Amino acid sequence: MLPLLFLDVDGPLIPFGGADHPTYGPMSATSDTNPLLARINPALGPRLLALPCEPVWATTWGEDANAEVAPRLGLPELPVLGWEDGGRPQGPLHWKTRPIVAWAGGRPFVWIDDEIGERDRSWVVENHPGPALLLRVAPEAGLTEDDLAAVGRWLAELDR
């Protein structure tokens, strides 16, 4: 079984804060589409698909990630991480941390997010029996070549 890749949208795929961000492609014809979607770099899609892992959306976009984000990246429909009380703080932990570890069920995983903290890292070490890479992305930059390279190296190392 391939490792899992839990993928956040706001921050890694839709950068925010900092300087102006480039935009890509035409805006959607529908007027209710979030204009931030234009910040998604379509070139990231093939890069993500080339990684030897199974991607899962882990984002407040929920099912909208499949409807709005995946087509811009050329990604197929992906499973979506669900959670109870979505968005509410889980004590000192990020609210995605427990559901991600539960979903993984011991399987190796990568989690790409701009909100990973030290508490999340230590909780995963204590509660997840397999290998895990928690990659914190700077939201001002979004997912970079260096980030993708780090994930690629980690997955290759795991495969040995």
- Residue 113 sits at the vertex; the CA angle it makes with 36 and 89, to the nearest 5 degrees, is 95
Is the Cβ of residue 114 or residue 120 nearer to Mg ion in the bound state?
114
From 21-29, 35-43, 83-91, 110-118, span contacting Mg ion (CB under 5 A)? 110-118
Given candidates 114, 120, 124, 132, which one binds Mg ion under the rule CB under 5 A?
114
Q: Cβ 55 to Mg ion, closest distance in Å? A: 15
Q: Cβ 29 to Mg ion, closest distance in Å? A: 27
Given candidates 10, 81, 104, 133, which one binds Mg ion under the rule CB under 5 A?
10
What does the radius of gyration of the chain's CA atoms come to, in whole angstroms? Answer: 15
From 2-10, 13-21, 71-79, 146-154, span contacting Mg ion (CB under 5 A)? 2-10
In this structure, are residues 151 and 51 in contact, taking their beta carbons and an 8 Å threshold? yes
Token pair recorded at residue 68: 């709005």
Does 8 engage in binding with Mg ion (CB under 5 A)? yes
How does DSSP assign 40-105, residue by residue?
Answer: --TTHHHHHHHSSSEEEE-STTTTHIIIIIHHHHTPPP--B---TTTTS-BTTB-TTHHHHHHHHT
Q: Cβ 133 to Mg ion, closest distance in Å? A: 17
Site residues, Mg ion (CB under 5 A): 8, 10-11, 114
